[in-house]
Amino acid sequence: MSVLVTGATGFIAQHIVDALLKENYNVIGTARSQAKADNLLASFNSPNLSMEIVSDISDLNAFDDIFKAHANKIKYVLHTASPFHFNTTDYSKDLFIPAKNGTLGILQSIKKYAPQTVERVVVTSSQAATLDFTAPPSSKTVYTEKSWNPANEETKQMNAIMAYCTSKKIAEKAAWDFYNENKSQLKFKLSIVNPVFVFGPQLFDSSVSATLNTSCEVINQVLKTTPKDQLKKDVMGEFIDVRDVARAHLDAFTKEETIEKRLLMNNGLFSEITIGNIINNDFPQYKGKIAPVADDTDLQNDIAPYKCDNSVTKQILGWEFTSLQKSVDDTVAQILKMSK
């Protein structure tokens, strides 16, 4: 039996595919183009990986052909494909519709062609689906696995970042609604993985470029500072390591405890200061060439606009998340290696 991984060429998805292959699963991945598919096949060079082309996930029938061809093989579906960028002003066309239709499309394809053969479905969402970006910042506000972003397509005064966050909520809500409305006709159980900023190395060194994927570019930007620059405390967020996110996806379809659960993948705060300080302290070759060490002693109280309690997720998974220091160090070490 096989695992279908949509968006298999993505940063997180490549780590998921790698973890699956190491566990001897047969993997069917999807990519937007033949060139991307061929590149991934060459990189993995595994007989247990095959690729299918899905050029436009906003087409509700985009996944039909895959299930027509492989319905009797696919036991697990990991849906990671979704737009992740802020370079748009047409939020509906570029974010809301692809995110929602991509999720609904694959669930509808399962219902049409594999209602009794697919056993588990995991959707990659985001902590953005849990946060209320219209609420004033308050350290008394606590978000958990039960929290929901109240924004929708009609929310006014939205910027690109809010629109991306709203797209994740819309897509995840569509998944839960479809699942709850069609439970009686489907065998599969649903789980959701909700990561924050995802740091860590690219799976393949060859993926390192001048500009990295959206999350890791936060680290890369610190490397592009000069000694005259000052690290900023208000350039901040929460992080999780990509290898932990990949591992959580495997747990999400193999553990009974994850059924109908949201896994909030969050290992705490970062700021440009904390990242810069790690790099300055751990990489002497960068010290004196990037922005200098700065004070980050009261990070939680100074910059946290809310608090996250993902204790339920940690209890379900039962393993320690990767530290910010290791995640940053491994990311920077790879960039350094490829810059030589």
CATH, residue 151: 3.40.50.720
Please check whether residue 250 lies inside any domain of the structure: yes
Radius of gyration of the chain (CA): 20
Low-confidence ranges of the chain (pLDDT < 70): 83-87, 156-157, 297-304
* Predicted pLDDT of residue 211: 81
Please check whether residue 291 lies inside any domain of the structure: no
Please check whether residue 224 lies inside any domain of the structure: no
68 is catalytic: no
Number of domains forming the structure of the chain: 1
Nearest CA to 321 among 265, 264, 279? 265
Please check whether residue 103 lies inside any domain of the structure: yes
Sorted by sequence, the CB contacts under 8 Å of residue 190 that are 6+ apart come out as 121, 122, 123, 175, 176, 179, 259, 260
* Predicted pLDDT of residue 136: 77
User: Cα–Cα distances in Å, from 41 out to 31, 76, 198?
Assistant: 11, 20, 24
Task: List the structure tokens of 10.
Answer: 């993505």
Task: Tell me how many degrees the CA angle 163-197-106 measures, rounded to the nearest 5.
Answer: 60
* Predicted pLDDT of residue 93: 80
Q: Which domain holds residue 86?
A: 2-199+240-266+308-320
What secondary structure does DSSP assign to 102-120, as a single string? Answer: HHHHHHHHHHHH-TTT--E
Q: What is the pTM of this model?
A: 0.95
Please check whether residue 55 lies inside any domain of the structure: yes
- The 10s digit of each residue's pLDDT in 275-318 is 999 999 999 999 999 999 988 766 655 556 788 999 999 999 99
Please check whether residue 176 lies inside any domain of the structure: yes
- The 10s digit of each residue's pLDDT in 218-270 is 999 999 999 999 998 778 889 999 999 999 999 999 999 999 999 999 999 89
Task: List the structure tokens of 77.
Answer: 């579906």
Please check whether residue 89 lies inside any domain of the structure: yes
Please check whether residue 300 lies inside any domain of the structure: no
Cβ(28)–Cβ(1) below 8 Å: no
Indicate which residue of 168, 169, 189, 261 is catalytic.
168
* Predicted pLDDT of residue 294: 87
